[in-house]
Amino acid sequence: MSITIELPHVGESVVEGTIGKWLKQPGDEVKRYEPLVEIITDKVTMEVPSPVEGSVIKLLAEEGETLPMGAAIAEVATAESPEGVEPEAAAIKVEVTTPEESNSPGTTGYLLRDVTPVGPTGGAAVELAEPTGSNADTGQARPTAVVQPPAPPAQTVQTTPRSGQTRLSPAVRRLAQEHSIDISRIQGSGLGGRVTRDDVLRYLESGPALTPPSSTAPTRDLEGSTSVDGQETHISVSPVRRMIAEAMVRSVTEIPHAWSTVEVDVSGLVALRSSVRTEYEKNQGGSLTYLPFVIKAVVEALKEFPTMNATWGGDKIILKNRVNLGLAVAAPEGLIVPVIHNADQFSIAGLAAGANDLAERARTKKLTLDDVQGGTFTLNNTGALGSYVSGPIINYPQAGILTTETIQKRAMVIDDAIAIRSMMNLCLSFDHRINDGAEASGFLTAVKNKLQAFGPGTSIY
């Protein structure tokens, strides 16, 4: 018979060890407890004794090799079985009781082996006048119940697989609901193919495209929602947050972003809006912001620079014939980008109505799927949040994204004189695979010129 020697567990935080030196070679006889191999860990270097007497058959690890604790390192032929363990699973136990280890994570006493219990009934370690204690024979009640044979050892887990996979644990149900997952798409690794909590967490981590591992080994290392040491609070990610995260990662990793910023004199626009605002809000309802004017300018510029209204197609550039302008809106659960379809076919007043409608429905969660699909370019009014300059991430797979920044009065030099003008920055991120700086600047300048061309007298209808 032969047994496999495993790299022993030597302490709480030690997870691997390096084979320092083999003290026995194949063919060597080894006595029980005779040092077999020298193991180096980050805490200690030690000799590992053989748990059995026998002869070394083969070494399974080379000197210098680093292995996880529990890894098989040698095979030893033996006639005996190691103490307290089944031959198949023989692992040497090395007691390491350095103070650091027995202190972590809580102060733990350790159990002495082969010590005779003491006390009146325990044995010889304490000399007693009466070996069974003074109370044992004082006539206390004898048992009236018959002592029954004890029940079998408490093995309270069902080991038979449950039939079917429809039974979900409360933890799995909760996770499925929180993340809107169809559990039937997850392969279970639990008993009888049950989908376990860790299966779900792994599925969420790896993304739906990946097939979860089919290993039946128990899973580990996945965090719950609370950190153990109390130093961190872990918030479970909402489906919206997860989608945003995935979209952002995809955009940033796939699209080579380039950035450009221009400064726009919107004094004329400010004057225009002031002049028509009251009338518009009275007759049309809803507010008249700067947004529809910017949309108008962007949409017209996109018509002039069709490669900004496009998608990278690998071996081709795909121009979008329609201009569907996405508007980034801060909704309760996070960013959402509803789309004004065929935005080039609306007047400024029409765009105002459309934008107001989308923003309102985004906030009240009444957007339809159509409302958020098919965008070809995105506009983000970061200025509304007080931003002065931004570096936005492109709404994948579009060719660019434009932000409108805070409008503020600045001292500008015009014809060698200082004038106070209402100024606004436009920040563009663009896919450098599709456009170079020349096109991007041309596009930005076109938007700029159209915005600067607005003034009292421009019709919004």
Partner 1 sequence: MTQSTALKVKGSILAVKSVIEAVREAITEEMSRDSKVFVMGEDVGVRGGVFLATQGLSEEFGNNRIIDAPLAEASIMGIALGAAFRGMRPIPEVQFSDFVWPSINQLIGEAARTCYGTNGAVQVPMVIRMPYGGGIRGGLFHSQNVETHFFHTPGLKVIAPGTPYDAKGLLKSAIRDNNPVVFLEHKKTYRLVRGEVPEEEYTLPIGKADIKRLGSSVTVVSYGLTLHYCLEAAEELAGEGIDVEVVDLRTLTPLDTETIIQSVKKTGKLAVVHEDNITGGVGAEIAALAADQAFEYLDGPVVRICGPDVPTMPFAQTLEDAYMPTADKIAAGLRNLAVY
Query: H or E segment at 413?
Result: strand 408-414
Can 341 be counted among the known catalytic residues? no
Among residues 105, 164, 207, 457, the one that binds partner 1 under rule CB under 8 A: 105
Looking up tokens 């508007």, which residue turns up? 327
Q: Residues 404, 342, 433, CA angle at the centre, nearest 5°?
A: 60
CB nearer partner 1, residue 180 or residue 283: 180
CB nearer partner 1, residue 209 or residue 228: 228
The least CB distance from residue 282 to partner 1, in Å, is 53
Q: Hey, which residues between 172 and 201 contact partner 1 (CB under 8 A)?
A: 172-174, 190-191, 194, 196-198
The least CB distance from residue 191 to partner 1, in Å, is 5
27 is a contact residue toward partner 1 (CB under 8 A)? no
Backbone angles phi, psi at 403, to 5 degrees: -110, 145
Residues with Cβ within 8 Å of 102's Cβ and at least 6 positions away in sequence, in order, are 108, 110
Can 229 be counted among the known catalytic residues? no
Binding mask 344-383 for partner 1 (x = CB under 8 A): ----------------------------------------
Q: Which of these ranges, 164-172, 249-257, 294-302, 340-348, lies near partner 1 under the rule CB under 8 A?
A: 164-172
Dihedral, CA of residue 47, residue 16, residue 216 and residue 3, to nearest 10: -20
121 is a contact residue toward partner 1 (CB under 8 A)? yes
- Comparing C-alpha atoms, which of 315, 331, 297 is closest to residue 446? 297
Checking DSSP bridges between strand 377-380 and strand 325-327, what pairing results, if any? parallel
99 is a contact residue toward partner 1 (CB under 8 A)? yes
- What 3-state class would DSSP assign to 5? strand
Indicate which residue of 9, 179, 257, 432 is catalytic: 432
Q: Hey, which residues between 57 and 96 contact partner 1 (CB under 8 A)?
A: 69-70, 91
Q: Residues 52, 55, 60, CA angle at the centre, nearest 5°?
A: 90
Looking up tokens 């695979």, which residue turns up? 433
CB nearer partner 1, residue 89 or residue 419: 89
Q: Hey, which residues between 213 and 272 contact partner 1 (CB under 8 A)?
A: 216-226, 228-230
Among residues 44, 94, 171, 240, the one that binds partner 1 under rule CB under 8 A: 171
CB nearer partner 1, residue 27 or residue 218: 218
Count of CB atoms within 10 A of residue 365's CB? 10
138 is a contact residue toward partner 1 (CB under 8 A)? yes
389: region left, alpha or beta (phi > 0 left; psi from -120 to 50 alpha): beta
Q: What is the DSSP letter of 226?
A: B
CA distance 369 to 382: 24
Q: Which of these ranges, 210-218, 269-277, 322-330, 332-340, lies near partner 1 under the rule CB under 8 A?
A: 210-218
CB nearer partner 1, residue 219 or residue 406: 219
8 Å CB contact between 300 and 319? no
Q: What is the DSSP letter of 398?
A: B
The least CB distance from residue 144 to partner 1, in Å, is 9
Among residues 148, 184, 253, 368, the one that binds partner 1 under rule CB under 8 A: 148
The least CB distance from residue 238 to partner 1, in Å, is 16
CA distance 280 to 350: 11
8 Å CB contact between 311 and 398? yes
8 Å CB contact between 370 and 338? no
CB nearer partner 1, residue 173 or residue 303: 173
Among residues 2, 9, 242, 247, the one that binds partner 1 under rule CB under 8 A: 9
Indicate which residue of 42, 234, 370, 436 is catalytic: 436
Q: Hey, which residues between 280 and 299 contact partner 1 (CB under 8 A)?
A: none
CB nearer partner 1, residue 110 or residue 461: 110
67 strand-pairing partners: 17
Residues identified as active-site: 432, 436
